[in-house]
Structure 1
Amino acid sequence: MTTTLPTRVHIREVGPRDGFQNEPEHIPTAAKISLINALGRSGLKRLEVASFVRADVIPQLADAGEVLTGIEVPDDVSLLVLIPNSKGLNSSLAYRQHFHEVGIFVSGSETHNKKNVNRTIADTMADNVVMAKRITAEGLRCGAVIATSFGCPFEGKVDMDRVLDLAEQFAAMGASEVGFGDTTGMCNPAYAGDFFAAAIERLPGVEVTAHFHNTRGQGLANAYAALAAGCDSFESSFGELGGCPVPKGSTGNIATEDLVGMFHEMGVATGVDLPQLIAAAREAQQTLGRQLTSHSIIAGPVVWNTAG
């Protein structure tokens, strides 16, 4: 692990996709747009806002096109849509002018991949090759995500080399970023440090992104371990929304406001206005009508009293 921490990090907010898709109640499109606009005003420069998936499978994301055409964020905010397959990519390109990045994905675990998208890893990667070519030909930034990078609830620990081999395949397709997801919260800080040191070494010229879940309370510790290994790109979800619907109970991304607060306390810049971000998370709490689980919603940001 490096002895000098990165002085600045990039954070992608994934709540409008990863978070909203996991909610049991319908979220009105207008409310989604309001929340995304609030996130855009907080200083976050990367937002994952939609996914083009089957409405009968994930009904919360059925309004992806309406969301994309309705949001108004600063011009320097990059918007990403997550695409499961070529059919989804076809649908997304009808809104090509409203987003900047496309995310494609696979699971590191064969069982999880089959349960998540009903395909083998080999079939998924074959489709990803086709999609990556189309994405880059459209002038869009292509990013990739590997779910269950650290552990699978069905298969147990996922081999690091298998995951990094998939990452190298994505890089060869033209992906400029590869994210590693702790989809069901099975990572630990020691392994996170070793993993991201190895990933950064094996993926020169590729942005390496950490996506941790707080399912078992280790999310921020894992993020620190990744940071100490040299990772400067992270994904998180305001309000600690989200999780994985396969299997049930695997809820809870790192709360973006908790992650930003930790980085700021450590002297690591994010470019985010933390009070505005907390306000957006509190707006989400009001919209959903329930108490969210991030610590910063309750406690607020740390303010040092220097008087006396």
Structure 2
Amino acid sequence: MTSKIPGFPARAVITEVGPRDGLQSEPVFVATDDKIALVQSLLDAGLRRFEVTSFVSPRAVPQMQDAAQVMAAFRDRRDAHLTALVPNARGAAAAIEAGVDAMVLFASASESHNQKNVNRARAASFQGFGEIAQMADGTGVALQGAIATAFGCPFEGPVALQAVVDQARAYADLGMRHITLGDTTGMATPALVIERVQALAAAVPDVEIALHFHNTRGVGLACAYAGLSQGVRHYEASIGGLGGCPFVPRATGNVPTEDLVYLLHESGVETGTDLDALIASAAQAERIIGRELPGQVMKAGPRLKTASMDSVRTANG
């Protein structure tokens, strides 16, 4: 590991979202055993926080129809923190029964994307969140909030900073102490990241801020770097770059976990993960879904990985 960059946190915490956000829009159902094997490989690589599935209607997201079975494979792992996305009270009841550690409640900062994403108005989403908070009370299941389209909306364009701040405050009022700014649309820039992180740090100082970037326009890691410059410790990523919101036009995948870990390690930030093992997990994910994934480090390897001189031709002339 290289020397730490001044101002960066000494350690970052990564939540692996590939099993949920990464796989949710895959058109061919991924076998439950393959999902479980992928999560196990990521555990073996040192990851400990997972958004492992979502308790949604199987008609809306067929890929997540085996949510309870996937959770059952890991619910007794005391060394893993397992969260699941829940859109409504029915999903929350199933998630609590399945033994999740936390439920992720999500709404978009823009009205139009919320309508596309969950087919309801933002006000209706928050009304439902109040019911879920009551259901979770006394169960030991925590609530986390996710703000989708926190950096821009593909239908409305810019998303006002105040809308993001107001949503974070509403989450905090429901007792959430972990809030993710989601770059659902790949519209984040380093400048927007700094602006929004600073605003939330001032508005909800007792809340942990997490960042979730898509690499739609190739600046996902630059945005993560901006977050690090503000001291943000929590990041979400998807192995191999799997994923992309199915309700966003021209969407591409999430920032690859192994690419993010490479950046962190080369910046002197510890993660508790084994980069070589993550690269192997990315290759496993690629085999499972049967196509090439966009991750770069899984192709190139770590920076100091050497090769024999015989492995490439010598210039002639």
Which range, TM-score by smaller chain?
over 0.9
SS class of match (1:208): strand
Q: Label 1:74 to 1:280 Cα distance change in 2 as closer, same or farther (>3 A).
A: farther
How far apart, in 2, do the equivalents of 1:227 and 1:153 lie? 26
How far apart, in 2, do the equivalents of 1:304 and 1:293 lie? 20
Q: Which residue of 1 aligns with 2:176?
A: 175
Give 1:247 shift. Answer: 2.3
Q: Which residue of 2 aligns with 1:108?
A: 109
Q: Is 1:31 aligned with 2:34?
A: yes
How far apart, in 1, do the equivalents of 2:128 and 2:85 lie? 14
Q: Label 1:3 to 1:105 Cα distance change in 2 as closer, same or farther (>3 A).
A: same
Q: Which residue of 1 aligns with 2:196?
A: 195
How far apart, in 2, do the equivalents of 1:124 and 1:262 lie? 36
Q: Which residue of 2 aligns with 1:221?
A: 222
Which one has the largest radius of gyration? 2
Q: Which residue of 2 aligns with 1:135?
A: 136
Aligned with residue 55 of structure 2, among 52, 55, 70:
52
Give 1:72 shift. Answer: 7.6
The 5 Å alignment of 1:1-308 reads: 4-71=7-74, 74-96=77-99, 99-303=100-304
How far apart, in 2, do the equivalents of 1:195 and 1:248 lie? 24
Do 2:154 and 2:249's aligned partners in 1 also have CA atoms closer than 8 Å?
no
Structure 2: which amino acid aligns with 1:101? Answer: A
Q: Which residue of 1 aligns with 2:312?
A: none
Structure 1: which amino acid aligns with 2:119? Answer: N
SS class of match (1:24): coil
How far apart, in 2, do the equivalents of 1:3 and 1:201 lie? 22
SS class of match (1:137): coil
Do 1:200 and 1:231's aligned partners in 2 also have CA atoms closer than 8 Å?
no
Q: Which residue of 1 aligns with 2:310?
A: none
Q: How big is each residue's C-alpha offset from its partner over 1:52-94, in whole Å with a ceiling of 9 and x where there is no partner?
A: 1111111000000111112488521101111001111122222
SS class of match (2:24): helix
Q: How big is each residue's C-alpha offset from its partner over 1:84-135, in whole Å with a ceiling of 9 and x where there is no partner?
A: 0111112222212xx2111111100000001111111111011112212322
SS class of match (1:75): coil
CA RMSD of aligned residues (A): 1.5
Structure 1: which amino acid aligns with 2:135? Answer: R
Paired-residue identity, %? 43
How far apart, in 1, do the equivalents of 2:296 and 2:6 lie? 28
TM-score (norm 1): 0.94
Do 1:196 and 1:230's aligned partners in 2 also have CA atoms closer than 8 Å?
no
Do 1:46 and 1:77's aligned partners in 2 also have CA atoms closer than 8 Å?
yes
Structure 2: which amino acid aligns with 1:183? Answer: T
Which structure 2 residue ranges, 5 or more long, are not aligned?
A: 307-317
How far apart, in 1, do the equivalents of 2:211 and 2:112 lie? 22
Which structure 1 residue ranges, 5 or more long, are not aligned?
A: none
Structure 1: which amino acid aligns with 2:82? Answer: L
How far apart, in 1, do the equivalents of 2:263 and 2:157 lie? 30
Q: How big is each residue's C-alpha offset from its partner over 1:23-43, in whole Å with a ceiling of 9 and x where there is no partner?
A: 111101110000011111111
Structure 1: which amino acid aligns with 2:71? Answer: L
Q: How big is each residue's C-alpha offset from its partner over 1:150-194, in whole Å with a ceiling of 9 and x where there is no partner?
A: 100000010011111110110110112000101010011111112
Do 2:7 and 2:230's aligned partners in 1 also have CA atoms closer than 8 Å?
no
How far apart, in 2, do the equivalents of 1:76 and 1:136 lie? 23
Give 1:249 shift. Answer: 2.2
Q: Label 1:3 to 1:169 Cα distance change in 2 as closer, same or farther (>3 A).
A: farther
Question: Between Structure 1 and Structure 2, how many residues are aligned?
Answer: 302
